[in-house]
Amino acid sequence: MQQQTTAKVVVRLFLCSAALVLLVMFSTHAAAAPEDWLFGVNFTTDRINRGWDESDGRPSLGATVDWYPGSGFFAEAAAWSAKPFSIEPLGAEFKDTVGYAWPLSDDWSLSTMLSHYQFLHEFNASRLEYDELALTGGWRNCLFASVTASPNTAYRSPKTRAYSYNLSGHLPLTHGFSAIAAVGYYDLSAGLGAGYVYGNVGLGYQYRNVDFQISYFDTRAPSSLIQLVGAELVHRWVAQLSVHF
């Protein structure tokens, strides 16, 4: 019964998010070519966000819809099952994103994004929701560096400022395989008095519209932060399967 309720919540949130993507797309008066759209479903053995366990060590199911014409405005909507803290019930999280992309050259790109994160069927849903602005630079669609800022993030603290600094990339190997790695720092000092380092390294495989990844996620935090939120900081292997169409 709980799984059925969560599935309905994810579907409802996904439809609302998709409606926002449509609104952004039509507001730009751009021609919505079929190749501009990308839909996807994904399954992961654990939902991880910046080294933070958002599904309490449980599998998570999600869906995405992207509108990306290649340059200029773009939009994305995503929804997935979530359990951000062990004391919370199994619920759902969704993210709406609007942004603008600049292809600087054949090798370099720059984009900025504004995202809103919303939770449903959680005890503290209104307190957990937050907004975030991101600036991302990319090189040859293989290496990415980003900085994010949020004015209203709350992790067992009042809503306050939070920042993250990220570097990620993938190295194509052979026969559809690629090496993947990422490292970042999440600055939660305004709310929790400290930040922490997170990262992952693993292997990816892509066959047509199916993508599979397996990575080891790790975090490093000061003892003061571990005492507060240590249970949510992950050190484990995670597998993810995504299908795009």
**CA distance readout (Å), 91 to 2, 86, 180, 214:** 9, 12, 29, 25
- Calpha distance 241→16 (Å, rounded): 24
pLDDT reported for residue 125: 78
Residue pointed to by tokens 């995670």: 238
- Calpha distance 43→11 (Å, rounded): 15
| Average of per-residue pLDDT values in the chain | 87
DSSP state of 104: -
Over the stretch 22-60, which tens digit does the pLDDT of each residue have? 555 544 444 556 778 999 999 999 999 999 998 989 999
pLDDT reported for residue 86: 74
pLDDT reported for residue 32: 55
Residue 181 β-bridge partners: 169, 201
**Which residues, 6 or more positions from 153, have their beta carbon under 8 angstroms from its beta carbon?**
130, 132, 159, 160, 161, 162, 188, 191
pLDDT reported for residue 20: 53
pLDDT reported for residue 157: 80
**Average pLDDT rounded to a whole number, residues 92-103:** 93
> Which phi and psi angles does 227 have, rounded to 5°?
-65, -30
- Calpha distance 59→204 (Å, rounded): 19
Spell out the domains of the chain, with CATH numbers in brackets.
2-244 (2.40.160.40)
pLDDT reported for residue 2: 44
pLDDT reported for residue 232: 86
**Average pLDDT rounded to a whole number, residues 110-120:** 94
Over the stretch 137-164, which tens digit does the pLDDT of each residue have? 999 989 999 999 999 998 878 899 999 9
